[in-house]
Structure 1
Amino acid sequence: MTAIHTDAALTSLNTLGLTASAARFATVREHADLLQLLADATLRAQLWHVLGGGSNLVLPERVEGLTVQVAVPGRRLLREDDDAYYVAAGGGENWHDFVQWTLAQGWGGLENLSLIPGTVGAAPIQNIGAYGVEVKDRLFALTAWSLQDGAPRVFSNAECAFAYRDSIFKQAEAGRWLIAEVVFRLPKNAPLVTGYGDLQQEIAAQGLPLSHAGVAQAVMAVRRRKLPDPAQIGNAGSFFKNPIIAASQRDALLQQFPQLVSYPAGEGLAKLAAGWLIEQAGWKGRRLGPVGMYEKQALVLVNHGGAARADVAALTAAVQGDVAARFGVQLEAEPVWW
């Protein structure tokens, strides 16, 4: 029997550490668990929320309905061909542990995504990315279970409709699926992606080998230096998306702000560094009540203790307002707000 808990504390299950509880809470470890929950007509009529590692989430103080924690385990090599390994992982697997496991097997391709908090099942929803690699670059397919009737469905990479920090699971299919297993295609000759200056400097400074494991070490060192450990101070990683604007608008901003940090983002488009914008707007290391923007990385919103959703909402609006007033650019929060 799948246990259903009432008034379950969620404070330790979201990396922001927000004070929160669930009206009803259950853990799904296998397909039978979900089918059992769906067999209860009262539960089926509730609003369902699917919880992974809670690392990209802003929770209300009370989550109504049913909160389902995904804990589907497993990781294995499905098959290989001349060009790639096809590796499967359960939706409840810890993402970083899975990445390190693939590297230990000698399968490269995910190293740039080392040390990103969360679960394997949540990674495609957000299309997580770092240092030039996104999940969409390595995902082959995934299996999701319907929250209406439990029926499984396989989504190809194309069917996931990936975009920058986005997917069909945040858009048209939001709230309809529990991602149970993800299959990754890891090329046998996966290229090393070391274009970011931070990685190049770290590799040189440590004398790391130009290998998949070496890049992973560099990524972890850079992330540990720049980003706070959620176990030490509550945070959800990068809190705002890097805004994508017209290249003409970027050019106009450069006239006024020559140090503006930007990157190409396709024909006629440019991506701005949200952290730079936030820092220039005066928010790096600045607090508003129990929350603030991290002193070492302005892109990270941190909980200094005892914060709730309303505190996060107030700081989000303040930062957005100041950046818009100074640069005419609208920042979009990256986490999902329940």
Structure 2
Amino acid sequence: MVPEHDVKLKDYNSFGLPAQGRVLLRVRSQADVRRVVDHPQWGRAPKFVLGGGSNLVLTKDIEAVVLKVEIPGIRLVAEREDAWIVEAGAGVLWHEVVAWTLDQGIPGLENMALIPGTVGAAPVQNIGAYGVELKDRFESLDVVDLVTGRAVTLDARTCAFGYRDSVFKRSSTEGGLAGKCVITHVRLRCPKPWQPQLGYYDLERKMEQTGIHSPDARQVFDWVCAIRRAKLPDPAVLGNAGSFFKNPVVTPEQCRDIIARDPHVVHYPMPDGSFKLAAGWLIDACGWKGKAVGGAAVYDKQALVLVNRGGATGAEVVTLARAIQESVYGRFGIRLEPEPLVV
């Protein structure tokens, strides 16, 4: 492994925010992680694990050793009566896995098409879209401990998935694994028989527009890609980290109170009786669409997305996000929680 020094991280985060990594090491296998752990200098140094950088807001240079995870490979490891089991290296782009499975005749991941980022980051965030979350398609994953160098396989229970949450986002004081390990491989379970997940307004509208009411997995994939491309900016063109805030979950009483004041609020019932509110609608209702702080702005087509119009700093993104949070809380009494990691 050859260390790279004073690396500009602007090209390694989808927001395109300026920062430097003092030392960067490219991890392309489990053995590479163990080499880092065993190294007389790097082994004891603080470490920062970097995947695709699509869920990251950099506000400063990274003094810790940056481990840029680039582990390749996609393969079908098992076909059972109830499911296909697909394994992917942590450095593979998530969308590549979705497309690969469909090319192999394996449905199940199509609702999560075009979600940016790498496979290794997917369990950390418990990514999801259009009614399907990673936990719904999860089998197991492998991690390497950054202290001992030991490789361990973890199941869904140990990963403790929640809404845009997992054990990998929680600190050790919270019983979590944040900063303590590197995810190297993830195995996904695509269930048999396949059933389309179509219970979202945008997909229902596609069915009505096309007259296709029993779409196959490839059709759902195409619809999701079209919907996302129409709503969300391409990070290669306009820097962003996707949805910036989590959709807040409220009690039935809170939901009724908000509906009484704003009957058009977009809300979805949850299995436990609570309601999920559309954070983008709340932000838009507060008049934030298109507004900016320096080079950071609210995307004019989707208020849930913050973008880098050019030359934005991490500080400007954070200032804009906090102003939005205060505005939404002032009007609706709801505190929005950011999705990206702010460093």
Matches within 5 A, 1:230-309: 230-309=235-314
1:213 aligns with 2:212: no
2:97 — aligned with what? 98
1:156 aligns with 2:160: no
What is the CA–CA distance in structure 1 between the aligned matches of 2:107 and 2:273, rounded to whole Å?
33
Answer yes or no: is the 8 Å Cα contact 1:5–1:26 preserved in 2. Answer: yes
Answer yes or no: is the 8 Å Cα contact 1:248–1:268 preserved in 2. Answer: no
Q: 1:177 aligns with which of 181, 194, 200?
A: 181
How far does residue 272 in structure 1 lie from its aligned partner after superposition? 1.0
2:201 — aligned with what? 197
How far does residue 200 in structure 1 lie from its aligned partner after superposition? 2.3
2:323 — aligned with what? 318
Indicate the SS of the match to 1:55.
coil
Query: Letter of the aligned partner of 1:238 in structure 2?
Result: S
Count of residues in correspondence between the two structures: 337
What is the CA–CA distance in structure 1 between the aligned matches of 2:42 and 2:127, rounded to whole Å?
31
Structure 1 186/266 Cα, relative in aligned 2: closer, same or farther at 3 Å? closer
How far does residue 268 in structure 1 lie from its aligned partner after superposition? 4.7
How far does residue 204 in structure 1 lie from its aligned partner after superposition? 4.0
Cα-to-partner distance string for 1:142-162 (whole Å, 9 max, x where unaligned): 011111122111111111100
Q: What is the TM-score with the length of structure 1 in the denominator?
A: 0.97
Larger mean CA deviation between 303-312 and 33-42 belongs to 33-42
What is the CA–CA distance in structure 1 between the aligned matches of 2:211 and 2:47, rounded to whole Å?
49
How far does residue 234 in structure 1 lie from its aligned partner after superposition? 0.2
Answer yes or no: is the 8 Å Cα contact 1:127–1:134 preserved in 2. Answer: yes
1:56 — aligned with what? 55
Answer yes or no: is the 8 Å Cα contact 2:142–2:151 preserved in 1. Answer: yes
Q: 1:225 aligns with which of 230, 236, 240?
A: 230
How far does residue 61 in structure 1 lie from its aligned partner after superposition? 2.8
Query: Letter of the aligned partner of 2:38 in structure 1?
Result: A
What is the CA–CA distance in structure 2 between the aligned matches of 1:31 and 1:303, rounded to whole Å?
35
Answer yes or no: is the 8 Å Cα contact 2:37–2:44 preserved in 1. Answer: no
Indicate the SS of the match to 2:65.
strand
What is the CA–CA distance in structure 1 between the aligned matches of 2:119 and 2:235, rounded to whole Å?
18
What is the CA–CA distance in structure 2 between the aligned matches of 1:277 and 1:95, rounded to whole Å?
29
How far does residue 83 in structure 1 lie from its aligned partner after superposition? 1.6
| RMSD (Å), alpha carbons | 1.2
What is the CA–CA distance in structure 1 between the aligned matches of 2:284 and 2:179, rounded to whole Å?
34
What is the CA–CA distance in structure 1 between the aligned matches of 2:207 and 2:47, rounded to whole Å?
45
How far does residue 256 in structure 1 lie from its aligned partner after superposition? 1.1
2:335 — aligned with what? 330
2:173 — aligned with what? none
Larger mean CA deviation between 201-210 and 49-58 belongs to 201-210
Indicate the SS of the match to 1:77.
strand
Matches within 5 A, 1:22-101: 22-101=21-100
What is the CA–CA distance in structure 2 between the aligned matches of 1:79 and 1:224, rounded to whole Å?
33
Indicate the SS of the match to 1:153.
strand
How far does residue 337 in structure 1 lie from its aligned partner after superposition? 1.4
**Structure 2 regions of 5+ residues with no counterpart?**
171-175
Identical aligned residues as a percent:
46
**Structure 1 regions of 5+ residues with no counterpart?**
none
Query: Letter of the aligned partner of 1:270 in structure 2?
Result: F
Larger mean CA deviation between 280-289 and 226-235 belongs to 280-289
How far does residue 41 in structure 1 lie from its aligned partner after superposition? 2.7
Indicate the SS of the match to 1:44.
coil
Indicate the SS of the match to 1:275.
helix
Indicate the SS of the match to 2:31.
helix
Answer yes or no: is the 8 Å Cα contact 1:203–1:218 preserved in 2. Answer: no
Query: Letter of the aligned partner of 1:312 in structure 2?
Result: V
Matches within 5 A, 1:127-138: 127-138=126-137
Query: Letter of the aligned partner of 1:34 in structure 2?
Result: V
Query: Letter of the aligned partner of 2:198 in structure 1?
Result: T
